[in-house]
Amino acid sequence: MTLAELTEKHAATLDKATEANVSREYFAHWNESPSKKVYGETAADEGEAAFKASLNHKFTRLLQAGETGWHGEEESPFGFPLGVQYPTFSVESLITNAHNAKMQWQRFSPSERAVVLIEALERAGTGKTFFEIAYSTMHTAGQSFAMSFQASGPHSFDRALEAVALGFSEQAQFVSEVTWVKPAGAANITVKKNFHIVPKGLSLVIGCSTFPVWNTLPGLFASLVTGNPVIVKPHPKSVLAIAVVVASLQETFRDLGLDPHLVQLAADSSANPLTLTLSEHPAVSVIDFTGGAFGNTIEEIGRKHGKAVFTEKAGVNGVILESVENLDAVLDNLAFTLSLYSGQMCTTSQNFFVNKNGVKEGDTVIPFDEVAKRFAAKIDALVTNPKMAAITGSIQSTVTFERVQTAKTLGLKVVRDSGTVEQGGFPNARTASPLVLQASVEQRDIYENEWFGPISFLIPTDGFDHSLHLLLRSLAQKGALTTLVYTTDNAQREQAETAIIYEGKAPVAFNYVGGIFVNQSSAFSDFHGAGANPAGNASFADAAFVASRFNVIGAREVA
């Protein structure tokens, strides 16, 4: 397929995505429903069969040269080893392959790169592949099947398309050439000027264990659309889902006459990690990182060596609970927020600042202890309901599971204890339902640290102003990807919005009830993270997320 044919095929998609990035209205290119009506009668069975065929075998679908060995260490949080082995490569071979691939790619125009990448997304974003990715995510990250399908499939691919459209827009805002004429009396000064989009260089995307696709694709496609070849370094415990995506991308590049090494998988081991070696390599110019406090080290490498770095790190997300219209509706929403994927989302709320005198519901004040009791009951009802228990999934890491046990030894009042959650068909699944503890304001050394996983704290305060003060203090120290405020007072709402956004530099949501939750983020509309507080320096996806991946360099000649 020629570039002209690709342009004709995907021009409408690129236009719609570009327009959605500006309007911020609802737009989704891929359907999030895994139904047969959407993806076909056989897609689910074919995807599951493809996943099972990978188990206990070498993953041979990558189109990469120069492997030095094979390694795999993934185990399903649902209770069995995957046995998948991935090819390993030396750092220098990865660098050399990327360098060779970039020469052709960087000569493509921004629009040509955009339509090639949309074609790659369309070929990978099929029913069979989405289902294969879903099962691969489920059995490495521990998400439920439904969440795995949506998050690693349609939602991830929409985020990738968002990055492609935004990268195209940022590169296309300048003309590529102009004849510049400056009036100068009898003889004008005329200069021919050409402007070149120059990619920064080799890009490294460091994946995480809990969202191996969703957190990887934005940086991957932001770098590709701006002309940079990419090395994907997945978490060694969560490789298979992103390996499937990378293999599909490589196949598309090959079929279109491009070097498949434009994107490479750099699988490593827990014993011999490649993250620091790759990050510090002088050939790497752009780094995307998702994870915990190690992101501080990545940022320091960027500052020291002049690399463009985009991080999503640890944060402490907070909720202010002051006044509501319907407390049951609010607690239902918050119970789901804590239970979804057992709190293993970087956007999940951790600290709940609640007026110690109670929460106002209409003209009635519900005492603090009653609020806590009802909150625990809402979580109980959710995670013990056979139809709803699957939303918790399993615990990806033994470290996260052990953290729940550690939290129980803090000596805090237990509002709601953590327990196991039935996962039908997987008796050996590693599970933990939400643990809710009560902390005093003075115990900031506990609650102002991130407790990743199903762990949260109720903190009684002296009222709204006090709650806001504590939240802002936490934002200054640790940052956050989400905040949530419940108040029926318009003045308090305005005060919170101004303070949290301009002083705390964090996103804020208000009065969420029903089917929308603070830990969910919508492509083309929500900016995931602010890039302005200690929780990370990047946002999916603002202009800075793509603009720092290329430069505009001019050439001039007197005409």
Q: Verify that 471 and 545 share a domain, yes or no.
A: no
Q: Verify that 483 and 549 share a domain, yes or no.
A: no
Q: Verify that 349 and 242 share a domain, yes or no.
A: no
Q: How confident is the model at residue 281 (pLDDT cuts 50, 70, 90)?
A: very high
* Rounded CA separation 303/282 (Å): 13
Q: Verify that 156 and 260 share a domain, yes or no.
A: yes
Give me the amino acid identity at 448.
Answer: E
Q: Verify that 269 and 328 share a domain, yes or no.
A: no
| In-domain check, residue 112 | yes
Joined tokens for residue 227 = 């002309």
Q: How confident is the model at residue 390 (pLDDT cuts 50, 70, 90)?
A: confident
This prediction has a pTM of 0.95
CATH number of domain containing 471: 3.40.309.10
* Rounded CA separation 515/523 (Å): 17
Q: What is the pLDDT of residues 77-113, one digit of tens each?
A: 999 999 999 999 999 999 999 999 999 999 999 999 9
Q: Verify that 115 and 171 share a domain, yes or no.
A: yes
Q: Verify that 95 and 145 share a domain, yes or no.
A: yes
Beta strands in 418-510 (DSSP E): 435-438, 455-461, 483-486, 509-510
Residue 303: count other Cβ atoms within 10 Å of its Cβ: 9
Q: What is the pLDDT of residues 437-495, one digit of tens each?
A: 999 999 999 999 999 999 999 999 999 999 999 999 999 999 999 999 999 999 999 99
Task: Give the pLDDT confidence score for residue 191 in this predicted structure.
Answer: 95
CA–CA distance from 501 to each of 96, 265, 334, 466, 484 (Å)? 44, 38, 22, 17, 12
Range of the domain at 197: 3-277+541-558
Residue 457: count other Cβ atoms within 10 Å of its Cβ: 25
Quickly tell me which residue has 């969910």 as its tokens: 520
Q: Verify that 67 and 16 share a domain, yes or no.
A: yes
| In-domain check, residue 519 | no
| In-domain check, residue 447 | yes
| In-domain check, residue 294 | no
- DSSP for 278-290 reads HHH-TTEEEEEEE
| In-domain check, residue 307 | no
Q: Verify that 337 and 475 share a domain, yes or no.
A: yes
Tell me how many degrees the CA angle 145-384-338 measures, rounded to the nearest 5.
65
Q: Verify that 403 and 265 share a domain, yes or no.
A: no
Q: How confident is the model at residue 324 (pLDDT cuts 50, 70, 90)?
A: very high
Q: Verify that 106 and 28 share a domain, yes or no.
A: yes
| In-domain check, residue 127 | yes
How many domains is the chain partitioned into structurally?
A: 2
* Rounded CA separation 45/43 (Å): 6
CATH number of domain containing 136: 3.40.605.10
* Rounded CA separation 92/96 (Å): 6
User: Quick check: helix, strand or coil at residue 533?
Assistant: strand
Joined tokens for residue 138 = 């489920």
| In-domain check, residue 336 | yes
Q: What is the pLDDT of residues 27-73, one digit of tens each?
A: 999 999 999 999 999 999 999 999 999 999 999 999 998 999 999 99
CA–CA distance from 469 to each of 465, 475, 495 (Å)? 6, 10, 11
Residue 475: count other Cβ atoms within 10 Å of its Cβ: 25
| In-domain check, residue 163 | yes
Q: What is the mean pLDDT of the chain?
A: 96
Residues in the chain: 559
Q: Verify that 261 and 216 share a domain, yes or no.
A: yes
* Rounded CA separation 148/394 (Å): 12
CA torsion through residues 141, 145, 146, 148, sign: positive
